[in-house]
Homo-oligomer: A and B are copies of this chain.
Amino acid sequence: MAATAVTDEVAAVVEEYNRRRDIHAVLVQLPLPPQVDATRVLDLLDPAKDVDGFHPDNVGRLVQKRARFVPCTPAGIMELLARHEIPVAGRRAVVIGRSDIVGKPMALLLMHADATVTVCHSRTGDLPGVCREADILVAAMGRAGFVRAGHVKPGAVVIDVGMNRIADPHQARDMLVPERLAEFEKRGHALVGDVHAPSVRDVASALTPVPGGVGPLTIAMLLKNTVRAAAAAVTD
């Protein structure tokens, strides 16, 4: 089947979900296979059901501080900071990574919460130096154990958004605590973050674990958005 035809089929499904009144929330699980035009599919989704907050209309509203749905991972991180009573206003935050899904909305939310925000990426000159300016450091670039002690100002709060599958025993021995290393040796793989926890743990004042840190919050925020979508549909 030609690529356009496949996308047409997926588009038809999305359009049916848009119409159905018993469906309040739709999540397009990315990545889509290459024969489907993901942008076309996402643009078709009714913004009022787009609980991921990826539709341009929802992205624009987030920028304008009138979000319908806040993207789940950054929303979860803001919740985590609030629950742990970590002050954000007036502090310096550095976000490593500029993806549409995490980096950009994260920077916006921190800025809206009155932090002074810097976004770093692969083209940043002195990455460790810029990271050391951060009171709150968010690592979201998808490189296992990349952030080390030298990236962290003593006492900083470090949020690890990474979810990297490693299979290299050397890397596993370097990054995993004994209990998780034993598990790695049984399974042959493990999930680790973008932060090298063994070295960062002693420098940071707080560090989110991987797994079990940002991940569950992302799911909680997705459910929150889903409930909100359903409530809005009922009151419509």
Name A residues whose Cβ lies closer than 8 Å to a Cβ of B: 39, 55-61, 63-64, 66, 89-92, 98, 100, 104, 108, 111, 114, 116-121, 123-125, 130
Contacts and interface: CB of A to CB of B under 8 A. Distances in A.
* Residue with the highest number of chain B CB atoms closer than 10 Å, among A55, A90, A119: A119
Q: State the 4 A-B residue pairs at the shortest beta-carbon distance, nearest first.
A: A56-B60, A59-B60, A60-B60, A114-B123
Given A59-B60, A111-B119, A116-B130, 15 more contacts: A56-B61, A57-B57, A57-B60, A59-B63, A59-B64, A89-B123, A90-B123, A92-B125, A92-B130, A111-B121, A116-B119, A116-B120, A116-B124, A117-B118, A118-B118
Contacts of A61: 56, 60
Which among A60, A111, A123 has the highest number of chain B CB atoms within 10 Å?
A60
Contact of A100 (B63, B104, B123): B63
- Secondary structure at chain A's binding surface: helix, strand, loop or mixed? mixed
6 contacts: A57-B57, A58-B60, A90-B123, A111-B119, A117-B119, A118-B118
Contact of A64 (B56, B92, B119, B123): B56
Contacts of A64: 56, 59, 100
A111 B98 contact: yes
A141 to B, nearest CB: 13
Contacts of A108: 104
Give the copy number.
Answer: 2
Most buried by B among A55, A108, A116, A125: A116
A63 B130 CA distance: 23
Contact of A125 (B66, B91, B100): B91
Nearest to A61: B56
Contacts of A100: 63-64
A123 to B, nearest CB: 4
Contacts of A55: 60
Contacts of A57: 56-57, 60
A100 B61 CA distance: 11
A132 B215 CA distance: 37
A114 B121 contact: yes
A88 B111 CA distance: 22
A124 B119 CA distance: 16
